[in-house]
Amino acid sequence: MIIVFLPKIVSIMTACIKDQNPLLGTFNTPFNTTPFHAINHGHYIPAFEETIKQGLDEVEEIVNNTEAPGFTNTIEALSYSADVFNRVSNIFYNLNSAETDSQMQEIARELAPLVSDFNNDILFNEGLFARIKAVYKQKEALSLNPEQYTLLEKTYKRFSRNGANLNKSGQARLREISRELSELSLRFQDNVLAETNAYLLHLTDEDDLSGLPDTARDAASQLAAARNLEGWAFTLHAPSFMPFLQYADNRELRKEFYMAYSTRASKNNDYDNREVLTRIANLRLERARLLGYQTHADFVLEERMAENADKVYELLNKLLLAARPTAEKELKEVQKLAWDMGADFELMHWDWSYYSEKLRQKRYKFDQEELRPYFELDAVKQGVFDLSNKLWGLSFVRNNDIHVYHPDVTVYEVYEENGRFLSVLYLDFFPREGKSPGAWMTSFLNQHRKQGDDIRPHISLVCNFSKPTDNAPSLLTFNEMSTFLHEFGHALHGMLSDVTYPNLSGTSVYRDFVELPSMLMENWAVERDFLDVFARHYKTGEGIPDDMVLKIIETRNFNAGYGILRQLGFGLNDMAWHTITEAVTTDPLDFEIIAMQPASLLPRVDHVMVSPTFAHIFAGGYAAGYYSYKWSEVLDADAFQVFKDNGIFDKQTAMSLREHILSKGGSEHPLTLYKRFRGKEPSVDALLKRDGLIS
């Protein structure tokens, strides 16, 4: 009797769960956007448990299909499976980065083993892999189009490269490693956020503000008032931290602030990441060995444009050789200026931004703070929207009826030139305690086609820009404006996607290709014709002066060598952690010092580390891939030359970029896509020329 009625009972229970849990039901919202207003913390774990069950049931349906394995009933069916799980997962993990709290973090820790096991239950399903292999063996006879062929290749490699061929004991150990890595990555991210939020520089003596521009003072005053403090307060979030290092005359306070920032998560407290990151690196090595690779980098780079570690080091060393002489010359120039100004010390890290800015002002008669009034956030946003309209005919309509997860977030409907709906775009600009540092693009829903419908994406940009104050709206630095363009390039990759399968959509591309659209968009930041479109003084409405535009262009390569060396240091550090062939047992500080030494320029500071807060590689997707920023600069410098040749607003060039790259996602090999657009392979010389390192 129980057996007879069990399906009905389960069906009733599932219906109840769906009725009570907004994550599981139909989203009766504009464009099926996430009903953030209806979701609470208690909904997440039941939603994950239910959608994991659904996902495994869908896999079993594929496995138990009595028809012979084919592309449609196996590869395509698997691509579309677990779509509700993916929806729930996107919502939860996006919010855990952009609007988290202690309860969300605890839920994430509880979910980590469940999600890890779910992924491995699919990867280690013998019946499923047998069907995938059967289809893969007949791939040349299936008459697949390029996207279908790519999906088949990626599906087979996803299983074969991640343990499907291992014996039971190997798979069991891989499960343990996967669980622990997912938990460690979450802990790493949580520790960085906790350490970033824990520090506050509270000043009550106005003399300590000497040198700071009004924008920094106003923001600090407002922050202090918000915390019921007298005077001024500064945090380790970039809009507060960076201006202080760049402008504060008080060297001891600059040092204190720098040390607070640069020793985060390495202070022998509950949030220390040194053991966490070492364990992550060692587990990645063990996993690579289990899977038949010498190092984690070998495992990762097999599926990248770079192909192997030797080629990555070849790129890094070529750039290092070109940049180091320039960087050393720049250091001498900044050091001389400091001595001329009365400094009786060798420049340290907390001096670099300060004296570099002084040199910039002396050499070019130009203070970057002069740009802020012309980069009012709403104007910059409209400028970026107008640029995308000129290039691709896109238009943006604000929708206040779409629910958001925080009052700071605004939402836009994005349309094609012909009026066709293209995407939903969320914009989340300002720092807060529940938001991770940095800037990123993500998606709540990827574009794909299903049952004849073109499912359009829901894209989100998350940043940490300068907030409005009581005296002024949000006024961006030049770097923040460039960051907006960068992240918007990622957004275009997601919004303009035009593929069939969700796991090939938008930014689902090789990590060393994903930064091309974003890096490419940054080029417009120094183009006079683009700046003239939107850069107007927020008070007077006057356009940005010609001489100021010239200063932006002239100073583009100011201290470029130092900046390149800094990025190369990060890349070398990343590669060192992921080319280990034996478990690391040494102090991670000693390990890092050796790794980054070829790119080091300023004197080493005791206790200062990069690795404990290097979330890109220890809590993100850039392990053995941080070099991709420099590789993408090679691509973008080469690609932007087409716009320079044809006009920076040339619609034909933009549509070619869309047709061959932005719309294609990961549907074909990135080099194939790039060569279709550019007509040739990229050259590193284009980057070296742009950065002024070669003539």
Decide if 609 contacts 588 (C-beta within 8 A). Answer: yes
**pLDDT one-digit tens code per residue, 464-494:** 999 999 999 999 999 999 999 999 999 999 9
Q: Which of 373, 370, 344, 346 is nearest to 357 (CA)?
A: 370
Q: Which of 241, 238, 544, 563 is nearest to 366 (CA)?
A: 544
Q: Which amino acid is at 17?
A: I
In CATH terms, the fold of domain 15-165 is Neurolysin; domain 3 (1.10.1370)
The CATH superfamily label for domain 274-366+560-626 reads Neurolysin, domain 3 (1.10.1370.10)
- pLDDT band for 19, please (50, 70, 90 cuts): low
Cβ partners under 8 Å of residue 255, min gap 6: 348, 350
Predicted local distance difference test score (pLDDT) of residue 621: 92
Q: Which of 16, 23, 155 is nearest to 90 (CA)?
A: 23
H runs (alpha helix) in 459-610: 478-495, 511-514, 516-522, 528-534, 546-554, 560-578, 588-596
Would the pLDDT of 580 be above 60?
yes
Predicted local distance difference test score (pLDDT) of residue 672: 96
**pLDDT one-digit tens code per residue, 39-70:** 999 999 999 999 999 999 999 999 999 999 99
Predicted local distance difference test score (pLDDT) of residue 5: 30
Q: Which of 377, 382, 379 is nearest to 396 (CA)?
A: 382
DSSP string, 269-301: STT--HHHHHHHHHHHHHHHHHTT-SSHHHHHH
Round to whole Å and give the CA distance between 443 and 98: 12
| Mean pLDDT, rounded, for 377-406 | 98
| Angstrom distances, CA of residue 502 to CA of 92, 146, 411, 498, 630 | 18, 15, 23, 10, 28
Q: Which of 286, 277, 244 is nearest to 261 (CA)?
A: 244
Would the pLDDT of 331 be above 80?
yes
Decide if 215 contacts 369 (C-beta within 8 A). Answer: yes
DSSP secondary-structure letter at 347? -
Predicted local distance difference test score (pLDDT) of residue 689: 84
Decide if 52 contacts 405 (C-beta within 8 A). Answer: no
Query: 593, exposed or middle or buried, with CB in 10 Å at 0-12, 13-18, 19+?
Result: middle
Q: Which amino acid is at 211?
A: G
Would the pLDDT of 564 be above 60?
yes
Would the pLDDT of 15 be above 50?
no
| Angstrom distances, CA of residue 666 to CA of 148, 362, 388, 505 | 11, 47, 22, 6
CATH 1.10.1370.40 location in the chain: 15-165, 373-554+629-690
Decide if 231 contacts 578 (C-beta within 8 A). Answer: no
Q: Identify the bridge partners of residue 460 per DSSP, sorted by sequence position.
A: 426, 442
Round to whole Å and give the CA distance between 664 and 53: 32
Question: Does residue 660 sit in helix, strand or coil?
Answer: helix
Round to whole Å and give the CA distance between 559 and 242: 17
Q: What does DSSP say about strands 458-462 and 421-428: parallel, antiparallel, or unpaired?
A: parallel
Round to whole Å and give the CA distance between 602 and 410: 42
- pLDDT band for 164, please (50, 70, 90 cuts): very high
- Phi/psi for 282 (5° steps) reads -70, -40
Q: What does DSSP say about strands 453-455 and 448-450: parallel, antiparallel, or unpaired?
A: antiparallel
Predicted local distance difference test score (pLDDT) of residue 10: 35
| Mean pLDDT, rounded, for 513-533 | 96
Decide if 289 contacts 582 (C-beta within 8 A). Answer: no
| Mean pLDDT, rounded, for 416-421 | 97
DSSP secondary-structure letter at 649? T
Return the residue matching tokens 């979030």: 237
Q: Identify the bridge partners of residue 234 per DSSP, sorted by sequence position.
A: 201
Predicted local distance difference test score (pLDDT) of residue 684: 84
Active site residues: 487
Q: Which of 265, 572, 569 is nearest to 437 (CA)?
A: 265
| Mean pLDDT, rounded, for 589-604 | 97
Predicted local distance difference test score (pLDDT) of residue 693: 82
**pLDDT one-digit tens code per residue, 127-162:** 999 999 999 999 999 999 999 999 999 999 999 999
Considering the chain, what is the average pLDDT of its residues? 95
Q: Which of 386, 569, 501 is nearest to 86 (CA)?
A: 501
Predicted local distance difference test score (pLDDT) of residue 227: 96
Cβ partners under 8 Å of residue 121, min gap 6: 56, 59
- Rounded to 5°, the CA angle 46-47-51 comes to 120
Cβ partners under 8 Å of residue 479, min gap 6: 242
- Rounded to 5°, the CA angle 410-530-510 comes to 65
Question: Does residue 445 sit in helix, strand or coil?
Answer: strand
Least confident of 10-14, 332-336, 384-388: 10-14
Would the pLDDT of 694 be above 90?
no
**What pTM, to 2 d.p., does this model score?**
0.94
Burial letters for 595-618: b for 16+ Cβ neighbours within 10 Å, e otherwise? Answer: bbeebebeeeeeebbbbbbbbbbb
In CATH terms, the fold of domain 373-554+629-690 is Neurolysin; domain 3 (1.10.1370)
| Residues constituting the chain | 695
DSSP secondary-structure letter at 25? S
Least confident of 453-457, 626-630, 687-691: 687-691
Would the pLDDT of 12 be above 60?
no
| Mean pLDDT, rounded, for 421-445 | 97
Q: Alpha-carbon torsion 306, 311, 316, 319, what sign?
A: negative
Round to whole Å and give the CA distance between 560 and 526: 15
CATH 1.10.1370.10 location in the chain: 274-366+560-626
**pLDDT one-digit tens code per residue, 239-292:** 999 999 999 999 999 999 999 999 999 999 999 999 999 999 999 999 999 999
H runs (alpha helix) in 292-346: 296-301, 309-340
**pLDDT one-digit tens code per residue, 190-213:** 999 999 999 999 999 999 999 999
- pLDDT band for 1, please (50, 70, 90 cuts): very low
| Angstrom distances, CA of residue 251 to CA of 237, 354, 357 | 20, 9, 14
DSSP string, 102-146: HHHHHHHHHHHHHHHHHHHHHHT-HHHHHHHHHHHHTGGGS---H
